[in-house]
Structure 1
Amino acid sequence: MNESKPWYLSRTIWASVITVMAATAGLIGLSVDDADQVVLTDTILQVVTGLAGIVAIIARLSARDRIG
Structure 2
Amino acid sequence: MDDAKSWYLSKSIWGGVVAVLASCANLLGVDIAPADQIGLTDGLTALVAAAGGLLAIWGRISAKGRLR
Q: Same fold (TM over 0.5)?
A: yes
Residue identity opposite 1:56 in structure 2: A
Tell me which residue corresponds to 2:43: 43
TM-score (norm 1): 0.82
Give identity over the alignment, percent: 40
Deviation string 1:38-58 (CA, Å, 9 cap, x unpaired) is 000000110110110011011
**In 1, distance between residues paired with 2:10 and 2:29?**
29
TM-score (norm 2): 0.82
Matched, 1:4 2:3: yes
In angstroms, what is the RMSD of aligned CA positions?
1.7
**In 2, distance between residues paired with 1:32 and 1:13?**
18
Aligned length, in residue pairs = 63
